[in-house]
């Protein structure tokens, strides 16, 4: 099967290239495909004629998006709609990744797929617009909302904490934002299961689903887990201090509650998700 994956060096894309290695992968990085160029997207898809499209690329710089909204919307909103149109014209599915940032975080419980969206900033607004563009096309698609993605590559909380915990004596980390750290490898493995179910002729319903690590913690709790692993390896680790979001202002406001209820994905597609603690250990023990 020919699988077109947008993004080459992104966290999820790198893991997808491992989990879907048995297929013919057509992986297009920014040098091969500029997602801000709709005409180029159409040309590439029509030329390559894949059996499945996976959009693993996005403008993910949350704070930077506040000052470059036009680019964020081009990549996160317009491009997914164009990909959905091209997928529908080929009569093939599109898998697209979205985010907890489509919600404002004011709900006291985990978010369901049907809950009202209310993004707080440009990044969330552009990702929500991308979702809406895909749904408007009406073709076969899976929109997978995830949260707090990390891996051993790129820029993410895990790698930043590993560095800072070993460089400093004391580290202040936000403790009032709650969510589920999600290893990019878990996202890729779940995606591979979804693809297999579809190939086997036993798919669930197309649509929007939540896909994160199981369980919940704060950024402070995530940092504590990372610090514990450093100490277990005999490495230095800073003393951690919990702080409120108000003590760490950023250009883009973050949702305080990023918890996503993933039960629908498990029920309708028989996807077995992994506890975030276990996924962290698997990630840390995997080859770079």
Active site residues: 123
Alpha carbons within 13 A on the beta-carbon side of 95 = 26
Contact 178, 279 (CB under 8 A): no
Give 168's contacts (C-beta < 8 A, 6+ positions apart): 238
Beta bridge partners of 96: 55, 143
- Chain mean position to CA 71: 19
Contact 111, 100 (CB under 8 A): yes
């Amino acid at each position: 099967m020919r699988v077109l994956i947008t993004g080459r060096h992104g966290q999820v894309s790198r893991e997808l290239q491992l989990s879907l290695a048995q297929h013919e992968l057509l992986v297009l990085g920014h040098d091969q495909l500029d997602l801000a160029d709709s005409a180029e997207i159409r040309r590439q898809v029509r030329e390559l004629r894949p059996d499945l499209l996976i959009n693993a690329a996005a403008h993910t710089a949350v704070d930077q998006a506040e000052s470059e909204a036009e680019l964020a919307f081009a990549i996160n909103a317009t491009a997914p709609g164009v990909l959905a149109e091209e997928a529908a014209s080929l009569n093939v599915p599109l898998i697209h990744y979205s985010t907890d940032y489509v919600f404002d975080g004011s709900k006291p419980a985990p978010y369901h797929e049907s809950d009202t969206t209310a993004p707080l900033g440009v990044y969330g607004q552009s990702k929500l617009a991308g979702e809406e563009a895909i749904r408007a096309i009406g073709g076969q698609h899976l929109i997978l909302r995830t949260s707090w993605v990390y891996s051993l590559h790129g820029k993410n909380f895990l790698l930043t904490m590993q560095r800072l915990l070993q460089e400093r004596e004391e580290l202040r980390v936000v403790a009032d934002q709650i969510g589920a750290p999600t290893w990019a490898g878990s996202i890729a493995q779940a995606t591979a299961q979804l693809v297999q179910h579809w190939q086997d002729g036993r798919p669930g319903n197309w649509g929007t689903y939540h896909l994160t690590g199981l369980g919940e913690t704060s950024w402070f709790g995530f940092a504590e887990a990372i610090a514990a692993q450093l100490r277990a390896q005999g490495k230095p680790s800073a003393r951690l201090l919990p702080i409120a979001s108000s003590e760490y202002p950023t250009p883009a406001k973050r949702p305080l509650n990023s918890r996503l209820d993933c039960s629908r994905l498990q029920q309708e597609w028989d996807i077995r998700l992994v506890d975030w603690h276990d996924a962290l250990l698997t990630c840390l023990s995997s080859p770079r």
